[in-house]
Amino acid sequence: MISSKTNFLRLFIHTSLFSLTFFTTTLAGVQWLNKDPFELSNFSLGLPYSISILLMLSAHEFGHYFAARYHNIDTTLPYYIPAPPFLINPFGTMGAVIRIRSTTKTALEIFDIGIVGPIAGFIVTVGILFYGLFTLPGTEYLFNIHPEYRLLDQIPEHGFSFGNSLLFFGFSKLVASNVYFPPMNEIYHYPYLCVGWFGLFVTSLNLMPVGQLDGGHILYALVGGKKQRFIARLFFYFLISLGLISIVPIWQTESLPGSAGWLLWAAILYFLIKLNHPEIPFVEELTPKRKILGWITFLIFILTFTPVPFLEY
């Protein structure tokens, strides 16, 4: 039986991490606007970004949490991971995780736990992105951040830039003909677009069909361990190829996009997350509705995957 002191300590840890992450993401929101994050009067400027990104992360992790509780699996509340934007990560957070204390015994359990998180996070992300798209300010907003742009014939499209996924590109084209849509090197100045982009990127990372990532759970429950191991290896080599394209000179062409960061991510998958999903004692047949939803999540993965997440040109 867990003592009240232990429960209080756990709650204190979760609350403290959430508060720290709220603080660091708010600083990140201020920094994305080219404002001084250490100037107290600027703190409120970062709130649209921090509230949005925490809403997206919370939807994802609490999706996992409630799915686990539905199956009577002992799990923790989310651990939010703060990251000072001026030291570690410009987004202000490394995400959030829950820890499952008891063992999952059936494919149905791992499927439900694996799929509810990214679906919930994706829905909230799309909502935030749509809000950002349909409330886009005019060019005056960008001129207030970059006053030097007023003197130019057109807004520059070079420097640090987010890469495009199929879904983000498609959504941007929905509104680009009616309102001003900023170039990808300015997206991070718009808090809702920035969080929308980040949420799609995080969704694709989690849905990779590897090991104990959400996509690995879903795929294992759909097709079994043997096929999951085969697909995981194919995807692993695909990531390595994407990474090599960006560093092998003969392959450095605009028609072959790649990112060296995928080599690091492939190493993390191989050595830490592992390619193979752990064996589950009982692999039952999923219901038709679950199968359809499972394959839909991999369509979401394809639409949200960004071959070159970050560019500098």
Short-list 107, 73, 100, CA closest to 225? 107
Residue 222 contacts residue 216 (beta carbons within 8 Å): no
Torsion on CA atoms 66, 219, 289, 54, rounded to nearest 10: 40
Q: Which pLDDT score is estimated for 143?
A: 96
Above 60 in pLDDT, residue 250? no
Short-list 198, 206, 203, CA closest to 91? 198
- pLDDT tens, 146-203? 999 999 988 998 889 999 999 999 999 988 778 899 999 999 999 999 999 999 999 9
- pLDDT tens, 84-112? 998 878 999 999 999 999 888 899 999 99
CA contacts within 13 A on the Cβ side of 116: 19
- pLDDT tens, 200-218? 999 999 999 999 999 999 9
Q: Which amino acid is at 121?
A: G
Q: Which pLDDT score is estimated for 104?
A: 87
Rounded to whole angstroms, what are the CA distances from 260 to 136, 140, 200, 234, 249?
Answer: 33, 36, 20, 18, 12
Backbone angles phi, psi at 311, to 5 degrees: -130, 155
pTM of the model: 0.94
